[in-house]
Amino acid sequence: MPQQVRDALGQIGHRIFGGYASLLRMPHTARFAVGSVIASMPFPMVGMTITISVQHYYGSYSLAGALTAVQAISLALVSPILGKLIDKFGQRQVSLPTVVVWMVAAAALITSITSHAPAWVLYCITPFMAAIPPWGAMSRSRWTNILRGDRKATDQALSLSGVFDEAMWVIGNPLASILAVISGVLAFSFTGVCVLVGAWMFLSIATTEPPSQTSLAKAQGITRKEYRARQAARAAELQGQEGQSAFWSSGMIAVCVTWFGLGAFQSAASISIISFATEQGMKQMTGFVFACFSFSSLIGALLYGAKSWTIPLWKRFYFCLLVVNLGIGTFLFAGNLWTIMLIYLVIGICQAPTWINGNQLMLHLVPPARFTEGMAWLSAMNSIGSSAGSAIAGQFIDRYGSRGGFGVVTALALTSLTIAFVGFRQIRDSTEKPILTELKA
């Protein structure tokens, strides 16, 4: 290879990866960043493992969809609570007992499924599968704490977190489909090992952990309630909305509702694709289809974070949202699984940037002492939407096959886009507010 070509490739590589490498060379950052991804493996694996295992043992997509919906609703209810507790008391204090609860629940659920226990037993156990610490939110909280005051590095760190998240989905989805088809026990066992290893990597590093509200209040000689009140008042002042909630602003509500719609049509697409692949005798390929989406999204995250954008945040947010929604809405017209895979590869480039834009919006919307809680609310609304989408799609699939499911996907994608534009003014205006995660009470 000519030297000029090598030099050009080196410059491109440094431009794309140089900033990420600098972040990971900071003390302990690589360990907690990678640990959060490993510990988050239940997110890409549990839903698909439940779907495939329940459909195999019980022969019902309705039951599989309902159980994934229960898990998603439980996750939506539990995540903000865990986020709030973590901000109050600290990451290790809350995460350790939560991990124990998840491990016990996972063992009980897979034992019940393989033993063909009554459906009500599965419904009772599944909610405890939501006992997953918000590792991604905690990792982003550590980055914003370490890089406070450096806007460019913070944006790049959020993009890096998106890269790691997509790598998790690229690996987790095909693994879940392969392992669950072989054995549900194997799939859950692998996930449990990931949780233990990732939790140890993440929680054993205390120097990067952001201070909790309890420790910050104690350092100032005030109560936690007084500390939260001071910071909320300062945030409301910066946002120009004195007398209103500094947390539940109109922009925060608009973003959360948008994330609800995003979760609804994407989860409906997932269960519809599994049904479509099963009808074509290609169920073992479903994980690879989803991995294509995640791989394309990973590339999008890498490229997106490498550039310092001058285009306003709200314009980038809506462009990426349009591409993802309209792209997935075309699945109804796909003739085979390979067409869906190709569509995923094309539109996936905008998937991670959509989430990265949402993360950057949160910097403008919530105070630093409640950042984990704010990120948890995004995940919660996405989970609630996912539960609604999978439950509705499951019913239509059982009645009309995969085409009925894809019809639901198209309808939900268009509805989601409409909802997002209803909140256009609030989302646009929120990007013009100060970055609240940099304020000090």
pTM, full prediction: 0.73
CB 32 within 8 A of CB 157: no
Amino acid residing at 358: G
For the segment 52-81, the average pLDDT, to the nearest whole number, is 81
- Is there a domain that residue 228 lies in? no
How confident is the model at residue 440, as a pLDDT?
46
For residues 143-164, average pLDDT: 80
Q: How confident is the model at residue 239 (pLDDT cuts 50, 70, 90)?
A: low
Distance of CA 178 to the CA centre of its chain: 22
Residue 220 lies in a domain: no
Does 313 reside within a domain?
yes
Q: Which position has the token pair 């879940």?
A: 176
The residues near 416 (Cβ < 8 Å, ≥ 6 apart) are: 258, 261, 262, 264, 265, 325
- How many domains, the chain? 1
Q: Is residue 395 part of a domain?
A: yes
- Residue 438: what pLDDT? 53
pLDDT tier at 243 (50, 70, 90 boundaries)? very low
Predicted confidence at residue 196, as pLDDT, reads 92
pLDDT digits (tens, 9 = 90+) for 383-431: 788 778 877 888 888 888 888 888 988 888 888 888 888 878 877 877 7
* DSSP designation for 212: P
| Position 2 in a domain | no
Range of the domain at 349: 26-204+233-434
Q: Is the pLDDT of residue 17 over 70?
A: no
Work out the end-to-end distance of the chain between its first and last CA atoms, rounded to an integer number of angstroms: 57
Does residue 12 belong to any structural domain of this protein?
A: no
Q: Measured on CA atoms in the order 273, 277, 279, 280, is the torsion positive or negative?
A: positive
**Residues 179-223: tens digit of each pLDDT:** 777 776 787 888 889 999 999 999 988 888 888 888 878 888 787
What's residue 197's pLDDT? Answer: 93
Rounded distance, CA 160 to CA 19, Å? 9
Q: Does 291 fall in a domain?
A: yes
Q: Which residues contact 377 (CB under 8 A, 6 or more apart)?
A: 79, 80, 83, 252, 256
- CATH code assigned at 365: 1.20.1250.20
Q: How far apart, in whole angstroms, are the C-alpha atoms of residue 218 and residue 157? A: 29
Residue 371 lies in a domain: yes
- 289-324: pLDDT as tens digits: 877 887 888 888 778 877 777 888 888 889 999 999
